[in-house]
Amino acid sequence: MTAFLHQLPFAPIDAVLVVPGLAALLLALIPQYRLGARLNMLASGLTFLFALTLLLERPDPAVSFLFVDDLNVVFVVLGTFVGFTTSIFSASYIGHEIEIGRLKPGYIRFYHGMYQALSFSMNLGLTANNVGLMWVAVELATLTTVLMVGLYRTQAALEAAWKYFILGSVGIALALFGTILIYMAARPVIGEGHDAMVWTTLIANANAFSPELLNVAFVFLMLGYGTKVGLAPLHAWLPDAHAEGPTPISAVLSGLLLNVALYALLRFKMLLAANPLAVAPGPLLVTLGLVSLIFAAFMLYLRRDIKRLFAYSSIEHMGLIAFAFGMGGPLANFAGLLHMTMHSLTKSAIFFAVGQVAQVKGTQKLADIRGLTESHPTLGWSLVVGVAAIAGLPPMGIFTSEFLLVSSTFAREPLLAIPLVAGLLLAFGALVWRLTGIAFGPPSPSVVDAGRRPSMLPLIIHLVLVLIAGLYLPGPLVAWFQNVARMLG
């Protein structure tokens, strides 16, 4: 395999950018839906295969604007996998939306082009060896998702896209100011120019930076990138974007974009940790994580829209992940990585199911979705398994990560474990209550099934992977995550 990689005319790390970049340009010129959908799947599949090769081939950061280490390869492999499976789901889902008249055929090439542009920008953000370039990539990812959220061109969709754009712009502006402060802290030590923004150079010299500038910078970075992560009270764009955009975009928002912003926060957290005089960033992450967890848990009881319900579930779990990384230490960091991976797989699977539910029932209102296990057994029981997984029931992988996090918190900070467990129990109760109505009892009427139905394969693959992770974690994967947990401190 390594010999084959050396024969390629480009490095694998370049391929995870070149393939979606070229595909975005090509798909923007193809108006035919079927051809565009197939090319979208092909490009996403190739990007995922090249991402896997990064496990074997690492570029030298000294000669590239890009770099790969054990931390970002987790995000790249996970993100490209979810992007690939979502493209499979999207192919039939979007076709059905065209058939029932919800989506105009003329928007298809725009949708597929933006899908690959999103993949390009996220991979660039994850592999950039320059904090300024990473900021540009996250901004590009935001703009592409804003455009796709408004794809239906309804008043509600355009309002959601505009809200996302405004709040996202405020967040990214705060992140830009934080990035500038990082450069100002590095300039007296490293000098002016590009080197003062190169990640590998920054981390190597962080102990000599001004701790005061680093402290102020992290506050702005936390607020800026925290907006993209969806942490409360910076979350207001996320429920609207999920509810009004196409369901495949809901899947990639929860499974990909939130993780890219989280990755940026983790990088800067490592930078502060390398300076012994800087304030520890952990307490801020823990606080925002707990606020997000408890706030979202209560909000789950008040939702009336099925996609908004699971949007608040994403806020809850991103809060839990932020809490884990804020706690730090080998066990909590390991739990955070595992939970991030399981959440991405599970939540995207849930949105695959929710998209089909909205199509067969003709609505997203929870009051009008009843008895799925009777009217659509395969879909209904798949959703039951997905919700059981995201609620943290054994033997699914999220149970494992939550158990590790609660155990670590009880051992180190017992008082923090009380609101943590309370938030988890509140969210569990809300999800079980909602699931009972959706899945069981007399079925609500279904609309006529006009044409193709989305593939169940991506949903099943994700849930099987989450189940396997709950029963058995391979030794190499455990060692990999343990190494990343040590890197995070």
Rg (CA), the chain: 22
Residue 367 and residue 379: Cα distance in Å, rounded? 18
**pLDDT tens, the chain, 489 aa long:** 444 445 555 577 788 999 999 999 999 998 888 899 999 999 999 999 999 998 877 666 555 688 888 899 999 999 999 999 999 999 888 888 888 778 888 788 899 999 999 999 999 999 999 999 999 999 999 899 998 998 888 898 899 999 999 988 899 899 999 999 999 999 999 988 888 899 989 999 999 999 999 999 999 999 999 998 989 888 888 899 988 889 898 888 887 888 999 999 999 999 999 998 888 899 999 999 999 999 999 999 999 999 999 999 999 999 999 999 999 999 999 999 999 999 999 999 999 999 989 888 888 999 889 999 898 898 999 999 999 999 999 999 999 999 999 999 999 999 999 999 999 999 999 999 999 989 888 888 877 554 456 678 899 999 999 999 999 999 999 999 999 999 988
Angstrom CA distances, 100 to 87, 104, 448, stand at 20, 10, 10
Question: pTM, whole model, 2 decimals?
Answer: 0.94
**Ramachandran area for residue 91 (φ above 0: left; ψ -120 to 50: alpha; else beta):** alpha
Q: What is the pLDDT of residue 1?
A: 46
Query: What tokens appear for 137 in the block?
Result: 């990539």
Residue partners of 247: CB distance under 8 A and separation at least 6: 93, 307, 351, 352, 354, 355, 358
Residue 260 and residue 406: Cα distance in Å, rounded? 25
Q: What is the pLDDT of residue 4?
A: 47
Burial zone of 363 (CB within 10 Å; 0-12 exposed, 13-18 middle, 19+ buried): middle
Q: Are the CB atoms for 115 and 87 separated by under 8 Å? A: yes
Rounded to an integer, what is the distance from CA 200 to the centroid of its chain? 24
Q: What is the pLDDT of residue 347?
A: 94
Return the amino acid letter for 119.
S
* DSSP per-residue codes, 177-197: HHHHHHHHHHHHHH-SSGGGG
Rounded to an integer, what is the distance from CA 103 to the centroid of its chain? 25
Burial zone of 366 (CB within 10 Å; 0-12 exposed, 13-18 middle, 19+ buried): middle
pLDDT one-digit tens code per residue, 153-193? 889 889 999 999 998 889 989 999 999 999 999 999 998 88
* DSSP per-residue codes, 93-133: HHHHHHHTTSS-GGGHHHHHHHHHHHHHHHHHHHHBSBHHH
Q: What is the pLDDT of residue 441?
A: 80
pLDDT one-digit tens code per residue, 218-248? 999 999 999 989 898 888 888 999 888 898 9
